[in-house]
A and B are shown apart, each in its own frame.
Chain A
Amino acid sequence: DAGVTQSPTHLIKTRGQQVTLRCSPKSGHDTVSWYQQALGQGPQFIFQYYEEEERQRGNFPDRFSGHQFPNYSSELNVNALLLGDSALYLCASSSWGAGNQPQHFGDGTRLSIL
């Protein structure tokens, strides 16, 4: 039973570029949430996808966008990268219909902006 998988594990970009991060949820899960974790901080909620729609969004600018595919996998896109976007990006999956329940996290993508 595969857990949450994310790719790539590491990425280096320069300011102004665009990046796409990918996530496959845990088997049986249909909801994907994305988080940004800066060094020494807790994860910050970016947005959540269910049934290929953005259902909830945290306090992040429109440069952060996403997508969910029919197989429940998801992408996080960040445009016009800033130095402050350097962080660990975590994907978490859950099952929408089960109400509040634990988020199962992937290992994350470490994004460095030069």
Chain B
Amino acid sequence: GENVEQHPSTLSVQEGDSAVIKCTYSDSASNYFPWYKQELGKRPQLIIDIRSNVGEKKDQRIAVTLNKTAKHFSLHITETQPEDSAVYFCAASRRNQFYFGTGTSLTVIP
């Protein structure tokens, strides 16, 4: 089955700096890659996603890049704000079966 690895497990940045979270996957048939943000005690919320026919996608301060050849994808958050502090999960999917990474706890220091 699919194996998704996510790094780093914890990340602290100063407010206004950028944050980058990286994931790798093993199954070349995976073709959909969403990112979720989970605040303490709350449900995971989709923040951005990318499909395998696209190399990069941006939504305001958040961007995702995908390298299919290397089987890795990354989340980039620019101009970080304290409300960005949360746990972020990447996932890889094919045929609606999702495999999640182990999460990155992001802390934005005011």
- Which residues on A are within 8 Å of B, measured CB to CB? 4, 31, 33, 35, 40-45, 48, 56, 58-59, 90, 94, 96, 99-108
The answer to whether B43 touches A42 (Cβ under 8 A) is: no
User: From residue B41, how far is it (CB to closest CB) to chain A in Å?
Assistant: 9
Overall SS of chain B's interface: strand
The answer to whether A100 touches B32 (Cβ under 8 A) is: yes
A-B residue pair count with CB separations less than 8 angstroms: 63
The answer to whether B43 touches A107 (Cβ under 8 A) is: yes
Q: Which of B13-21, B63-71, B78-86, B88-96 is found at the contact surface with chain A? A: B88-96
What are 14 A-B residue pairs whose CB atoms fall within 8 Å in the complex?
A: A4-B43, A33-B96, A33-B98, A42-B4, A42-B89, A42-B101, A42-B102, A43-B98, A43-B100, A48-B96, A101-B32, A101-B96, A103-B98, A105-B36
Could you say which residues of chain B place their CB within 8 Å of the CB of A41? Answer: 102-103
How extensive is the interface on chain B, given as a class?
A: 20 to 34
CA distance A42 to B98 in the complex (A): 11
Q: A90-B44, A100-B93, A105-B43 are in contact. List 8 more A-B contacts (CB 8 A).
A: A33-B96, A40-B102, A43-B98, A45-B99, A96-B96, A99-B96, A105-B45, A107-B42
